[in-house]
Structures are given as C-alpha cells and as structure tokens.
Amino acid sequence: MVARRAHNPKVVGSNPAPATNFVKFINKLFFEFIGRLRYKVSVLESKYKDSLLRGGAVW
C-alpha cells in the first residue's frame, strides 16, 4: 500500500497560522506592559498619597 497525500496540502491544519501566534505574542507583551505600568502607578500613588490629596507636587 502506498501512502497518500491530502488533496490540498496548502490547507492549514490544526496548527494556528503564524499571524495568529504573532498577534497573541503582541497582546501578551501589551498586557504585561500595562500590568506593570499599573503596578508602578499604584506604588507611586501609595508613596505620595498625602501629597496627591493636598494637590501638591510630588518632587
């Protein structure tokens, strides 16, 4: 018996297309960046809470 190939070998199988992987990668970077930025802002807010409440400069 001879092994047979699919009728259309260019059709994408169960593996996601490379563009899908790239979009997931970019989304991960973006949301990690936003998460770290939010953390830093919250740290700064807690550090300078009194000054921010009074409306004064933090430097």
In tens, the pLDDT along 2-56 reads 666 666 666 666 666 677 888 899 999 999 999 999 999 888 888 877 776 676 6
Number of domains in the chain: 1
- Does residue 50 sit within a domain? yes
- Does residue 33 sit within a domain? yes
What are the structure tokens assigned to 46, written together?
A: 């807690």
- Does residue 38 sit within a domain? yes
- Does residue 1 sit within a domain? no
Which amino acid makes up residue 1? M
Domain that holds residue 48: 19-54
Cβ count near 48 (within 10 Å):
14
> CA Rg, the chain, in Å?
25
* CA nearest neighbour of 58 among 38, 43, 39: 43
- Does residue 2 sit within a domain? no
Q: What's the pLDDT at 45?
A: 82
- Does residue 26 sit within a domain? yes
- Does residue 49 sit within a domain? yes
How far apart (Å, rounded) are the C-alpha atoms in residues 52 and 44?
10
- Does residue 13 sit within a domain? no
Q: What's the pLDDT at 28?
A: 93
